[in-house]
Amino acid sequence: MPELLCLEFVSTVTWDGLEMVRDDQIRGYGQLLDWATERGVLRESDVDRLREEAAADPDARRRALGRVWGFRRALHDCFRAVVRREQPPEASIALINAVIADAPPLFTLAPGADGIAFTIPAGPFPDPLQAVLRSALHLLSSPDLERLRECAADRCGRLYLDQTKNRSRRWCDMSTCGNRAKARRHHARRRHPLP
């Protein structure tokens, strides 16, 4: 599912309420390129070019990394607002619009069954943010947006798509957040058994 890339990107940091707190997988520019390479969103030639450009201009590399962190935060704010049925922060919308304005065209026209259809190029892309932006736009315009959820665990805040038939999933991952919640409930029952 192409819309999962943007959720993976947002989940490269652990969120606590509205703040990032720990486990940032993209602390440096090299980690961003590694993350994008592992997901197949960059061509090897683009990775090499971006590494060379980053080495030649450390200030540009720092600005690019700051933009990545800001974009990640803005996407999280917007997706979280969707889940909570709230208005997203204006600053987050503005930042996402700035990334859209700087990106090459993400949509093209092509012949379709009923005349003309919009197509979204599949990539790979010359910049990792373009792939994430494409994924986010796909999710925001998809019926899957109704399945977007926020993990119910304390101090998680991770966003995910609920793929269950009855749409009852509560945890981003049962093996981590779900098991911790089950263990807490079990511990509470043992400490305070029902009469």
Domain-wise residue ranges, the chain: 4-169
Q: Can you list the residues of the chain whose pLDDT is less than 50?
A: 186
Question: Which CATH architecture fits 4-169?
Answer: Orthogonal Bundle (1.10)
* Residue-level pLDDT at 173: 76
Angle between helices 44-56 and 58-84 (to 10 degrees): 120
For residue 136, list its beta bridge partners.
none
Q: What are phi and psi of 29, to 5 degrees?
A: -65, -40
* Residue-level pLDDT at 183: 55
* Residue-level pLDDT at 114: 72
For 42-78, b/e burial (b = at least 16 CB within 10 A) is beeebbeebeeebeeeeeebeebbeebbbbbbbbbbb
54-109 pLDDT, tens per residue?
999 999 999 999 999 999 999 999 999 999 999 999 999 999 999 988 877 666 77
pTM beyond cutoff 0.85: no
